[in-house]
Amino acid sequence: MVDITHKVTTLREATAEAIVKTSGQATIEAIQNNEVPKGNVFEMAKAAGLLGVKKTPDLLPDCHPLPIEYTGIDYEIDGLDIIISMTVKTIYKTGVEVEAMHGASVVALTMYDMLKPIDKNVEIGTIRLKSKKGGKSSFNINSEGLTAEVVVCSDTISKGQGEDRAGETIIKKLNALGVESQKSIIPDEAVEIIKKVENTTADLLIFTGGTGVGPRDVTPQTLEPLLDIKLKGVEEQMRSYGQERMPLAMFSRSIAGIKDGKLILALPGSTKGAAESMDAIFPHVLHAFKVIEGKRHD
């Protein structure tokens, strides 16, 4: 299966449509009057559709098992066509498009099976995804024109005695989002951190390192007094995401805030910690720039 462990959990919704085509008005009337020999077509097909949604990962090899938290099935009769609408919702890391389409397919097949004794020309028409929402594409995060500076805070690396991996990981993730970025390295000194905040010309300033509880970890207490606004929700998201993957993430003192219209972040110095913090909040954290400009939330 595709690895989705790096994704964040959001409300996912998908609606699929299937069409059953009958060949005569007599078939439609038999359904409406509950005169189909095999039973109530709408109710039987609905029950089958619910099972179809739940059984999707059992039949499709690469489909992740996930909690189905809502399934809605609606019918519309349009002439000799029966239009099936299947909506599925979950709060999870991946979407429910396949579940919705599979459920709609099972509803259509059930109808076909129940109607074929009275309508030899019944057939299944289009099965398609009508809509989906809840993934990254739903939030329309625009990173065009944004610049970033990544600052590695490390006594060892600044002396040339170690290799930076966390900063490079952050740069790679920023580049993938289309954010132009550059990197610098400084020791774990408050005065150097302050200089970076005062002198950067980038829209986004990301520090990596110095967020633990060691005697030289000074990044959070240096940055906090400088911020105009603290983004506590962003900080909570980073720690919550990390804690789900590593029990020691609770010791991280990651920081997020705004200073003079610039977004400032302080992430862990470990490569994995930095990568997970980026996964936890990007690209959604870039919405801050829209709010800074005075625009409303969507």
Question: Hunting for tokens 């959990």 — which residue is that?
Answer: 9
Query: How far, in Å, CA of 124 to CA of 48, rounded?
Result: 16
Q: Which of 81, 113, 217, 279 is catalytic?
A: 113
C-alpha to C-alpha distances, 119 to 23, 41, 77, 277, nearest whole angstrom:
7, 13, 16, 59
Q: 251 CB contacts (<8 Å, ≥6 apart)?
A: 212, 213
Phi–psi pair at 44, nearest 5 degrees:
-65, -45
What's the burial of 217, exposed, middle or buried (CB within 10 Å: 0-12/13-18/19+)? middle
The alpha carbon torsion through 149, 266, 146, 148 (nearest 10 deg) reads 10
Query: How far, in Å, CA of 218 to CA of 181, rounded?
Result: 24
For residue 113, indicate whether it is catalytic.
Answer: yes
Closest CA to 72 of 112, 41, 103, 95: 103
What sign does the dihedral 159-162-167-168 (CA atoms) show?
positive
**Which residues form the catalytic set?**
113
